[in-house]
Amino acid sequence: MARDIKINTLPAPTWTWLRVNDVNIKLAESFTAADISVENAAGVTVSENDADLESGIRAVETGMGSEMAAFVDGLGLKVKRIEAAEGTKAESFVSFKAGFTDGQASLYEVYAGKNSELKIFIDNYSTDESEGSGLSDIRFRLEEGSKVTLIQVFRQNSSFDFYDNIGADLGKRAELRIVHIVSGTRNLYLGATGDQKGDKSYFGIDTGYIRKASEKLDINYVARQRGKQTESSLKAGGVLRDTSYKCFRATIDFINGCTESKGDEREEVLLMDPDVVNKTIPLILCAEDDVEGTHGASIGRLDEDIIFYFKSRGMTEDQIMELMAASKLINVINLIDDENLRASVRESLEIEAD
């Protein structure tokens, strides 16, 4: 039996004929837990628990929307709880290796205590070459002054579909930085919402992707800026090859009262083959005058001058395209402030070091 679920809904719908307002997916009714190994960091507690129905973390708005959140909650699976106590400054990453086969899910709840610092790395991969689908759901509660970095790699096999759903509740001066590195998976759906209730909170996402063959990437990132002096940054950069498809929805929502807040959306897309499909929908919703909102998008093929430059250095056009594609991932890999982890990610993605 399959369940029909609507995900990645645009906060303000547009013309129906563009087919970007949302996505309808089918998911199996039940999922089992994915195989997850943990390399913990000093000062951070990782445990496996029932979902927390008391603190309100399950009610956090998620990027894929309420239908998906309710579906996940209904799976009845255990949750990996990651906690950094008040004042903890974790020096290294908590690393999860999440191996998926068909019908598996990984659920996380992240609690960052007041003035804590926490770094999380999740490597999502396939444990076999079989076709299938899997999902991941991460809910965050960031208390005052906490800083959390989340790095996720998506490198499942080319017959595998994956759904990654994130929701975060940010307190005063809390900061959540997310890096998404997409180099695998057949059809990948990413949804993330940051609810910036706290003044001076920061919510930022950097996504680098390569899509080839008939792979698909569908994204919905939302920054709900409620507190004063909040900042958001929603960025994506990538390459589309062959007959791949990408839809990038980014929304900065300046809610009345969020005075002196700033939000920025950026996208750069390299189109490398004639049959690719690119959709970009960068929204700014504004109910407050004392804000600064900006967005910029640049979509096209590689500049002829750059191609000429590399050809004159002896590279073939194919090699140039591969280099450009890799550079989009390297840009986001370099945001990982851990040299060993950077090297490990490059190795897993078969990208040479600079």
Partner 1 sequence: MKEKAHVEDINRSLYDFRNVDTDVYKVESGLTEEIVRQISKEKNDPEWMLEHRLKSLEIFNNMKMSEWGPPIDGLHMDNIVTYIKPKDNKMSADWDEVPEEIKSTFEKLGIPQAERESLAGVGAQYDSELVYHNVREEVAAQGVIYTDLESAMHGERGDMIREHFMKLITPNDHKFAALHGAVWSGGSFVYVPPGVKVEIPLQSYFRLNAPGAGQFEHTLIIVDEGADLHFIEGCSAPKYNVANLHAGAVELYVGKNAKLRYSTIENWSKNMYNLNTKRATVEEGGKMEWVSGSFGSHVSYLYPMTILKGDSSKVEFTGITFAGNGQNLDTGMKVVHSGKNTSSSINTKSLSKDGGISTFRSAVVVGKDAKGAKSVVDCSSLMLDNISRSDTIPAMDIRCDEVDIGHEAKIGRISDEAVFYLMSRGIPEEEAKTMIVSGFADNVSKELPLEYAVEMNNLIRLEMVGSIG
Which residue among 197, 212, 301, 342 contacts partner 1 (CB under 8 A)? 301
Nearest distance from C-beta of residue 102 to partner 1, angstroms: 32
Nearer to partner 1, 113 or 282 (CB): 282
Please, which residues have CB within 8 angstroms of residue 101's CB and are 6 or more apart in sequence? 126, 127, 128, 130, 132, 134
Is 290 in a helix, a strand, or coil?
A: coil
Nearer to partner 1, 256 or 319 (CB): 256
Nearest CA-CA partner of 9 in 72, 66, 58: 66
- Say how far apart CA 283 and CA 309 lie, in whole Å: 36
Q: Which residue has the tokens 């920025």?
A: 264
Nearest distance from C-beta of residue 312 to partner 1, angstroms: 22
Which residue among 30, 55, 130, 298 contacts partner 1 (CB under 8 A)? 298
Nearest distance from C-beta of residue 19 to partner 1, angstroms: 9
Nearest distance from C-beta of residue 344 to partner 1, angstroms: 33
Q: What binding mask, one character per residue, do residues 263-292 give for partner 1 by CB under 8 A, x or -?
A: --------xxxxxxxxxxxxxxxxxxxxxx
Site for partner 1 in 17-76 (CB under 8 A): 18, 20-21
Is residue 184 a contact residue for partner 1 (CB under 8 A)?
A: no
Nearest distance from C-beta of residue 243 to partner 1, angstroms: 11
Helical axes 339-348 vs 317-333, angle rounded to 10°:
140
- Say how far apart CA 144 and CA 169 lie, in whole Å: 11
Please, which residues have CB within 8 angstroms of residue 147's CB and are 6 or more apart in sequence? 112, 116, 117, 118, 174, 175, 176, 177
Nearer to partner 1, 274 or 314 (CB): 274
Nearest distance from C-beta of residue 179 to partner 1, angstroms: 24
Nearest distance from C-beta of residue 323 to partner 1, angstroms: 17
Nearer to partner 1, 85 or 287 (CB): 287
CA-CA-CA-CA dihedral for 9, 15, 19, 23, to nearest 10 = 10
Q: What binding mask, one character per residue, do residues 197-216 give for partner 1 by CB under 8 A, x or -?
A: --------------------
Nearer to partner 1, 97 or 301 (CB): 301
Helical axes 317-333 vs 304-312, angle rounded to 10°:
110
Write down the H helix ranges in the chain.
66-73, 304-312, 317-333, 339-348
Which residue among 40, 127, 259, 331 contacts partner 1 (CB under 8 A)? 259
- Answer yes or no: are the C-beta atoms of 143 and 169 closer than 8 Å: no
| Residues forming the site for partner 1 (CB under 8 A) | 12-16, 18, 20-21, 254, 256, 259, 271-301
